[in-house]
Homo-oligomer: A and B are copies of this chain.
Amino acid sequence: MRKDAARNRELLIEAAKTVFATRGLHVALDEIARTAGVSIGTLYNRFPTRNELVAAVYAETFERSARLAKRCLEVADPWEAFVRYLRGTCELQIVDRGYAQVCSRDFGAGSAIESAKHAAIASTEQLVARTKDSGLLRADFELRDMALTILATASVGQVSGAREDWERLLNLLLDAFRA
Protein backbone atom coordinates (compact mmCIF):
# COMPACT_ATOMS: atom_id res chain seq x y z
CA MET A 1 0.00 0.00 0.00
CA ARG A 2 1.26 3.45 -0.92
CA LYS A 3 2.10 5.67 1.99
CA ASP A 4 -0.59 8.29 1.26
CA ALA A 5 -3.15 5.49 1.22
CA ALA A 6 -1.81 4.15 4.51
CA ARG A 7 -1.98 7.60 6.04
CA ASN A 8 -5.56 8.13 4.87
CA ARG A 9 -6.45 4.74 6.26
CA GLU A 10 -5.23 5.82 9.69
CA LEU A 11 -6.97 9.20 9.42
CA LEU A 12 -10.21 7.44 8.58
CA ILE A 13 -9.93 4.98 11.44
CA GLU A 14 -9.18 7.81 13.84
CA ALA A 15 -12.10 9.89 12.60
CA ALA A 16 -14.47 6.93 12.63
CA LYS A 17 -13.40 6.02 16.14
CA THR A 18 -14.38 9.46 17.39
CA VAL A 19 -17.64 9.68 15.48
CA PHE A 20 -18.73 6.10 16.23
CA ALA A 21 -17.95 6.59 19.91
CA THR A 22 -20.19 9.59 20.35
CA ARG A 23 -22.98 8.94 17.83
CA GLY A 24 -22.98 5.23 17.09
CA LEU A 25 -22.32 3.05 14.06
CA HIS A 26 -25.14 4.45 11.95
CA VAL A 27 -23.55 7.81 11.12
CA ALA A 28 -23.34 8.84 7.48
CA LEU A 29 -20.08 7.75 5.91
CA ASP A 30 -19.63 11.16 4.38
CA GLU A 31 -19.42 12.67 7.87
CA ILE A 32 -16.56 10.34 8.70
CA ALA A 33 -14.78 11.26 5.48
CA ARG A 34 -15.22 14.97 6.23
CA THR A 35 -13.96 14.52 9.80
CA ALA A 36 -10.92 12.68 8.46
CA GLY A 37 -10.33 15.40 5.90
CA VAL A 38 -10.55 13.09 2.89
CA SER A 39 -13.19 12.58 0.23
CA ILE A 40 -15.96 10.03 0.31
CA GLY A 41 -14.28 8.29 -2.62
CA THR A 42 -11.16 7.70 -0.56
CA LEU A 43 -13.19 6.24 2.25
CA TYR A 44 -14.63 3.73 -0.23
CA ASN A 45 -11.18 3.00 -1.58
CA ARG A 46 -9.81 2.16 1.85
CA PHE A 47 -12.94 0.48 3.23
CA PRO A 48 -15.27 -0.89 0.55
CA THR A 49 -17.94 -1.69 3.14
CA ARG A 50 -18.97 -0.09 6.38
CA ASN A 51 -18.28 -3.31 8.26
CA GLU A 52 -14.65 -3.32 7.15
CA LEU A 53 -14.25 0.13 8.66
CA VAL A 54 -16.04 -0.94 11.84
CA ALA A 55 -13.83 -4.02 12.10
CA ALA A 56 -10.68 -1.93 11.64
CA VAL A 57 -11.81 0.62 14.23
CA TYR A 58 -12.70 -1.92 16.91
CA ALA A 59 -10.00 -4.55 16.42
CA GLU A 60 -7.89 -2.54 18.84
CA THR A 61 -10.69 -2.23 21.39
CA PHE A 62 -11.24 -5.98 21.42
CA GLU A 63 -7.53 -6.43 22.01
CA ARG A 64 -7.68 -3.93 24.86
CA SER A 65 -10.44 -5.99 26.41
CA ALA A 66 -8.37 -9.17 26.05
CA ARG A 67 -5.33 -7.46 27.55
CA LEU A 68 -7.46 -6.35 30.48
CA ALA A 69 -8.49 -9.96 31.08
CA LYS A 70 -4.86 -11.00 30.99
CA ARG A 71 -3.80 -8.25 33.38
CA CYS A 72 -6.54 -9.21 35.79
CA LEU A 73 -5.14 -12.74 35.93
CA GLU A 74 -2.17 -11.22 37.71
CA VAL A 75 -4.24 -9.61 40.45
CA ALA A 76 -3.68 -11.68 43.61
CA ASP A 77 -7.25 -11.74 44.93
CA PRO A 78 -9.40 -13.72 42.46
CA TRP A 79 -12.59 -11.89 43.39
CA GLU A 80 -10.95 -8.50 43.06
CA ALA A 81 -9.64 -9.55 39.64
CA PHE A 82 -13.07 -10.71 38.54
CA VAL A 83 -14.70 -7.46 39.62
CA ARG A 84 -11.99 -5.35 38.08
CA TYR A 85 -12.39 -7.06 34.71
CA LEU A 86 -16.14 -6.64 34.68
CA ARG A 87 -16.00 -2.96 35.60
CA GLY A 88 -13.29 -2.31 33.04
CA THR A 89 -14.91 -4.09 30.15
CA CYS A 90 -18.28 -2.48 30.84
CA GLU A 91 -16.63 0.91 30.94
CA LEU A 92 -15.17 0.30 27.49
CA GLN A 93 -18.67 -0.08 26.10
CA ILE A 94 -20.15 2.76 28.06
CA VAL A 95 -17.68 5.36 26.90
CA ASP A 96 -18.03 4.17 23.30
CA ARG A 97 -21.51 3.94 21.85
CA GLY A 98 -20.15 2.30 18.72
CA TYR A 99 -18.34 -0.39 20.67
CA ALA A 100 -21.46 -1.18 22.64
CA GLN A 101 -23.32 -1.63 19.36
CA VAL A 102 -20.55 -3.78 17.93
CA CYS A 103 -20.77 -6.01 21.00
CA SER A 104 -24.53 -6.46 20.83
CA ARG A 105 -25.17 -6.60 17.07
CA ASP A 106 -24.60 -9.83 15.17
CA PHE A 107 -22.34 -9.32 12.15
CA GLY A 108 -22.76 -12.82 10.76
CA ALA A 109 -20.74 -15.95 11.40
CA GLY A 110 -17.28 -15.83 9.86
CA SER A 111 -17.06 -12.04 9.78
CA ALA A 112 -13.92 -10.39 11.13
CA ILE A 113 -15.93 -8.68 13.84
CA GLU A 114 -17.51 -11.88 15.12
CA SER A 115 -14.11 -13.55 15.23
CA ALA A 116 -12.68 -10.70 17.28
CA LYS A 117 -15.70 -10.86 19.57
CA HIS A 118 -15.28 -14.57 20.04
CA ALA A 119 -11.59 -14.13 20.87
CA ALA A 120 -12.49 -11.53 23.48
CA ILE A 121 -14.95 -13.92 25.10
CA ALA A 122 -12.37 -16.71 25.07
CA SER A 123 -9.87 -14.43 26.79
CA THR A 124 -12.11 -14.38 29.87
CA GLU A 125 -12.30 -18.16 30.19
CA GLN A 126 -9.21 -18.43 32.34
CA LEU A 127 -10.36 -15.58 34.54
CA VAL A 128 -13.74 -17.20 35.11
CA ALA A 129 -12.12 -20.59 35.76
CA ARG A 130 -9.80 -19.10 38.33
CA THR A 131 -12.61 -17.30 40.12
CA LYS A 132 -14.71 -20.45 40.17
CA ASP A 133 -11.78 -22.50 41.50
CA SER A 134 -11.34 -20.01 44.32
CA GLY A 135 -14.80 -20.99 45.54
CA LEU A 136 -15.94 -17.37 45.68
CA LEU A 137 -18.38 -17.72 42.79
CA ARG A 138 -21.76 -19.40 43.08
CA ALA A 139 -21.61 -22.98 41.88
CA ASP A 140 -23.91 -22.57 38.88
CA PHE A 141 -21.98 -19.63 37.41
CA GLU A 142 -21.29 -20.13 33.72
CA LEU A 143 -19.24 -18.33 31.09
CA ARG A 144 -22.50 -17.19 29.57
CA ASP A 145 -23.29 -15.27 32.76
CA MET A 146 -20.25 -13.18 32.01
CA ALA A 147 -21.60 -12.14 28.62
CA LEU A 148 -25.03 -11.61 30.10
CA THR A 149 -23.67 -9.33 32.80
CA ILE A 150 -21.62 -7.26 30.40
CA LEU A 151 -24.46 -6.95 27.91
CA ALA A 152 -26.98 -5.96 30.58
CA THR A 153 -24.69 -3.44 32.22
CA ALA A 154 -23.58 -1.88 28.95
CA SER A 155 -27.20 -1.63 27.77
CA VAL A 156 -28.23 0.18 30.91
CA GLY A 157 -25.23 2.46 30.56
CA GLN A 158 -26.20 3.31 26.98
CA VAL A 159 -29.75 4.21 27.87
CA SER A 160 -29.37 5.93 31.19
CA GLY A 161 -26.25 8.02 30.90
CA ALA A 162 -25.94 8.16 34.69
CA ARG A 163 -22.89 6.22 35.81
CA GLU A 164 -24.51 5.29 39.12
CA ASP A 165 -27.22 3.35 37.30
CA TRP A 166 -24.99 0.87 35.53
CA GLU A 167 -22.71 0.64 38.55
CA ARG A 168 -25.70 -0.22 40.71
CA LEU A 169 -26.77 -2.95 38.32
CA LEU A 170 -23.28 -4.41 38.18
CA ASN A 171 -23.02 -4.37 41.99
CA LEU A 172 -26.37 -6.14 42.27
CA LEU A 173 -25.20 -8.83 39.87
CA LEU A 174 -21.94 -9.19 41.75
CA ASP A 175 -23.98 -9.75 44.92
CA ALA A 176 -25.86 -12.46 43.08
CA PHE A 177 -22.64 -14.09 41.91
CA ARG A 178 -20.92 -14.20 45.28
CA ALA A 179 -21.04 -17.73 46.64
- Give chain A's interface residues, CB within 8 Å of chain B: 104, 144-145, 148, 151-153, 155-156, 159-160, 165, 168-169, 172-173, 175-177
A9 to chain B, nearest CB (A): 31
A106 and B177 alpha carbons, distance in the complex (Å): 32
Cβ-defined partner of A168 (8 Å) among B145, B156, B165, B177: B145
Residues of B within 8 A of A159 (CB): 104, 151, 155
**Smallest CB gap from A138: residue in B:** B175
**Beta-carbon nearest neighbor of A171 in chain B:** B176
A155, B173: Cα distance in complex, Å: 15
Residue with the greatest number of chain B CB neighbours at <10 A, chosen from A144, A152, A159: A152
| Given A173-B172, A175-B176, A176-B172: A152 touches B156 (CB 8 Å cut-off) | yes
Quote the shortest CB–CB distance from A143 to chain B (angstroms): 12
Complex CA gap A177/B171 in Å reads 11
In-complex Cβ contact of A148 among B148, B169, B176 (8 A): B169
Smallest beta-carbon distance A128→chain B, Å: 15
Q: With CB as the reference atom, state the residue of chain B lying closest to A155.
A: B155
Residue in chain B with minimal CB distance to A104:
B159
B-chain residues with CB within 8 Å of residue A148 when the two chains form the complex: 156, 165, 168-169, 172
- When C-beta atoms are compared, the residue in chain B nearest to A152 turns out to be B152
Chain B's closest residue to A174 (CB) is: B176
**Inter-chain contact A155/B151, CB cutoff 8 Å:** yes
Complex contacts, A156 vs chain B, CB 8 Å? 148, 151-152, 155
Q: Which residues of B contact A151 (CB under 8 A)?
A: 155-156, 159-160
Chain B residues whose C-beta falls within 8 Å of the C-beta of A104 in the assembled complex: 159
Instruction: Report how far A148 CA is from B155 CA in the complex, Å.
Output: 10
> In the complex, what residues of B have CB within 8 A of residue A175's CB?
176
